[in-house]
Structure 1
């Protein structure tokens, strides 16, 4: 049997300790694998995302896969990939450059144990939501917006976010990657949750890419450029967000859960 071994890491991103935040698998490759094989690895891992990265001359090209599909942008798996490169591949500089075929130039900076994503800001517009989005949630939102890939539903209170129990079967039919729900936080500037059953993830524990939508929205609402945020999944996640012009900076910590080898 022809088989090869590939090193793989699982990192909890946007977490202060293991079993918090959002777990991502990371494979640093010498060369790209077939996309179908990467998809099968992601399905086998059954995590929200598995990230694959290949070193180029001055940066790393990065791709992200859910258990069912390749996605255009993923924050927590990029944070996890940076953690792996800084800690296990001994990357010497304090700033890592990444390139995504679908999202362009990205970077992650390191300041002690804090990692900061630098991502393009999402542009959103107020919309009348499709009926399936309204039907999926038991409480009507105050406002609805649409960004590049996701809907953003705005509610009055943190309690609304905590108590939300959407119908995933209905959401799976949505034309968007996922749905973000958000409200002002009781102890932080804003809170959120993220649902993407159509992409193979019923509820994502902590979604860095969703904060490219949330950060400019709440920056305008609250009149401040730097904010503390919390994603209210069962695992919970802590994020520091900065609205920086046409970019968004999203900071958090990461901790390792496992390292090992897979046979492919």
Structure 2
């Protein structure tokens, strides 16, 4: 049976920027092997699979090599598909049942707001080793359930980092690198996310990383609303709200760039 599949650029309103994700809305569940094979064939950082339920959709995310418990940009892409393909009306919220619990998305004009769990970080004493792997001096190293969060001195350093991926995948398989934005910037902070442990060296724009970055920068900047830029080669913009509870509100835009069929 043929399955329609969409490729969506998330956290952007311009095609060929942001973070691409594949989205497949299934009439009934598929087995894990089939979903992993499709994700490998798509060869994007994540492919999302949705199945309609009475009170929303089940949602699972696969990289080309493994299933992951949470993915922001593929959730944003999935929400975009549900509204743009008329599975939901603009007034309806998208409810996703996932391995990270219930996630809710709301359409707000040209933006989509995601309600995600916050991810708090703790200080860890691995400064010298991770500095060697990243190839830059660092200010702070934190640890959370996603991986490591590293602050460096400037946004310029964030953009210039060329990691030693052999060291990263062995010792630090998932690392967020961040800095306060330049003084004249419209953004509050910038970041990049290196994740060779997930089968990709760098994720272009990462919702889950901003669930870690929001609590970190709230403590540093003494504010709870941010405009963030992920400084990968494709780039992407994330609006972030974190009032200090256990949830983070992430907002982004998305655009469909491809629609096709899986024929096997």
User: Aligned in 2, Cα 1:97/1:234: closer, same or farther, shift over 3 Å?
Assistant: same
Question: What is the CA distance between 1:131 and its match in structure 2?
Answer: 6.5
Aligned residues of 2:95 and 2:104 also touching (Cα < 8 A): yes
- The question of 1:208 aligning with 2:193 is answered no
Aligned residues of 2:124 and 2:141 also touching (Cα < 8 A): yes
Q: Could you tell me the TM-score, scaled by structure 1's length?
A: 0.95
> What residue number does 1:183 align with?
179
Unpaired runs of at least 5, structure 1 = none
- The question of 1:123 aligning with 2:90 is answered no
> What residue number does 2:157 align with?
160
SS of 1:24's partner is strand
Question: What is the CA distance between 1:129 and its match in structure 2?
Answer: 2.2
> What residue number does 1:110 align with?
107
> What residue number does 2:196 align with?
197
SS of 1:210's partner is helix
- The question of 1:233 aligning with 2:232 is answered yes
- The question of 1:246 aligning with 2:252 is answered no
Alignment of 1:16-165 (within 5 A): 16-92=13-89, 93-101=91-99, 103-129=100-126, 133-165=130-162
Q: Once structures 1 and 2 are overlaid, which stretch shifts more, 124-133 or 33-42? A: 124-133
Distance of 2:5 and 2:256 partners within structure 1: 11
Distance of 1:224 and 1:135 partners within structure 2: 32
**Root-mean-square deviation (CA), in Å?**
1.3
Aligned residues of 2:148 and 2:172 also touching (Cα < 8 A): no
Distance of 2:7 and 2:46 partners within structure 1: 10
Deviations 1:170-204 (CA, angstroms, capped at 9, x unpaired): 2112365x110000012110000001111111111
Distance of 1:172 and 1:232 partners within structure 2: 21
SS of 2:145's partner is coil
Deviations 1:43-83 (CA, angstroms, capped at 9, x unpaired): 10000000001111111111100111100100000000000
SS of 2:116's partner is strand
Q: Once structures 1 and 2 are overlaid, which stretch shifts more, 27-36 or 69-78? A: 27-36
Distance of 2:204 and 2:101 partners within structure 1: 25
User: Aligned in 2, Cα 1:231/1:175: closer, same or farther, shift over 3 Å?
Assistant: closer
Q: Once structures 1 and 2 are overlaid, which stretch shifts more, 45-54 or 85-94? A: 85-94
Aligned residues of 1:132 and 1:170 also touching (Cα < 8 A): no
Unpaired runs of at least 5, structure 2 = none
Count of matched residue pairs: 259
Moved over 2 A (4+): 129-135
